[in-house]
Amino acid sequence: METKSIVRAVKRAGIVAFGAAMVTAGLAAPALADRDGVWHTGEFAVWQDSGFSGRIYDRALSQEGNYGPLYFVNSNVHVGDQASSTANGRTVRIYAYEHSWCGGASVTHLPYGQSSGSVGYAYTTLGWANDRLSSHSSATSC
Ligand SMILES: [Ca+2]
């Protein structure tokens, strides 16, 4: 518990540092607003419906180990096994998993804006993973 809190604090600090670096470089800072119902640069988001529509869960974390207890923003609908489209606004590769805690098969999301062949940073439909995603991480384990 304590370790997870520290990890989260470190990740938040990293996000702030990233924003400050962008401002310093003279680039637009990401309009980051965690779980405000709008996907922003820096956030990994899942939508309940395909085409990036319907309820959303937008979060500036590289890892959510268990979608089970999470709710889409401003709703009483759980995120687990409900996602139909996804987008990675983070600067790291994110894997979205079939099961909680990085279990089962995964869908690779390249860093924001990147694509290579059939692999991209965003998916308007999820194919086999439709209504089956339960966690995500920048690592291959949670
Ligand atoms: Ca947001």
Tens digits of per-residue pLDDT, 96-134?
999 999 999 999 999 999 999 999 999 999 999 999 999
Q: How far apart are alpha carbons 94 and 63 in whole angstroms?
A: 8
| Ligand 1 center–CA 54 separation, angstroms | 15
| Ligand 1 center–CA 87 separation, angstroms | 12
Q: How far apart are alpha carbons 37 and 56 in whole angstroms?
A: 6
| Ligand 1 center–CA 43 separation, angstroms | 7
pLDDT at 20 over 50: no
Q: Give the model's pLDDT for residue 21.
A: 40
Q: How far apart are alpha carbons 11 and 5 in whole angstroms?
A: 10
| Ligand 1 center–CA 118 separation, angstroms | 26
Asked if 35 and 58 touch (Cβ cutoff 8 Å), the reply is: yes
| Ligand 1 center–CA 73 separation, angstroms | 10
pLDDT at 47 over 70: yes
| Ligand 1 center–CA 29 separation, angstroms | 14
Q: Give the model's pLDDT for residue 33.
A: 86
